[in-house]
Structure 1
């Protein structure tokens, strides 16, 4: 009888040990949300001061912003094992509307771990379908058919040389027209290498430094390139280059 009891006790301990080991190997899941903040270098830009703040670009022009709207899509997080988790949808942001600063994907549950963030500036060729998105159509976000169709990536409007002789600028980015009936996709892949450690439900803050649109790698001279820029192939490609340094990870909360 004693032998039977000892055998049963040993079997129970083995199963309990195995169960404990399995629990230790389980990977927890976390929900991920995104917020986008906006600065001009060290100055916060939001709906409270968007149209009143005077800033100076790298070329020395004093600027007042009247409108800033942009779109990003195909956000994805890749962990240290090379596993990628993609989030459906796109994010349209209007700095006049604070409720558009946040983005909660529908499929936002991923395993905990260390990740880096990547997303598309604007729409890639597959997604940039003329007239396909009702909410963007109603926001007057369409890119002219004669310039390649699809949608804007950025509408950034304002006045420059406001301290001397104010003049308007329209810094709009989208498909690049090479010549009549010849267009070039102009989206950019934004890859942020800052490690994002996710241990629990997490909010990732991505900051847009608006000043970078005008300085890196191309120092922008608004006295030469102010408007119209949408049909200007060279200007569109310069915008594509400059947007690569605009975004950064500034905060992760959980």
Structure 2
């Protein structure tokens, strides 16, 4: 059953990349639950079809499109699918990810290029092919899923961090360049989020003490969930955020701003 909370979103079309799992999956389901027609863009056809079926079985509108968003053809195809199946395009949520976990000198040039294609070039290509149709439709909203790694670093996340740090800058450029055309663009920097993969790992090797310790590291005293990020996306694509553009919204429960000593003092 469709929830009519954000009435203005009803039958507006959104593309969500990386929609087959994790933050992308929950975001797609959330937007559909609030009346949006959602194009599910992902390489994982089996999972993508499952999400499409789940959304449509509860009264939502969704269309899975198997694409490689790191390519021009893939991004063109998903935009064409939005126009063909739903008649327009209002929102774009760039979320797809792929990257190696290696120290920088061990990253191959091939893996570097592939990670940048998926993590960053996909944002450029999706914007490039979506924006003209948004302008034709009177405007729209673009959300780039960045990461807390845009401002913080781990030793083996070089390609990921380079791309995620660039996304807020790209969204600011879109906000300034296409704001006069009715397009808003913002980025979200999630941190400490329990995705599908992390939940599966925790379920296979339960450790309640470790889970409780992890929760205590956050000022709000819990781990983040993909739904927390999806809620932020929902806000940013809605008219409630009509005067919000070029912003970088941190969704991490305050984890990134708390001094290490203050965490220890309250354990």
Q: TM-score range by the shorter chain?
A: under 0.3
Structure showing the higher strand proportion among its residues: 1
Q: Which has the larger radius of gyration?
A: 1
TM-score (norm 1): 0.27
Q: Which has the higher contact order (CA 8 A, sep 6+)?
A: 1
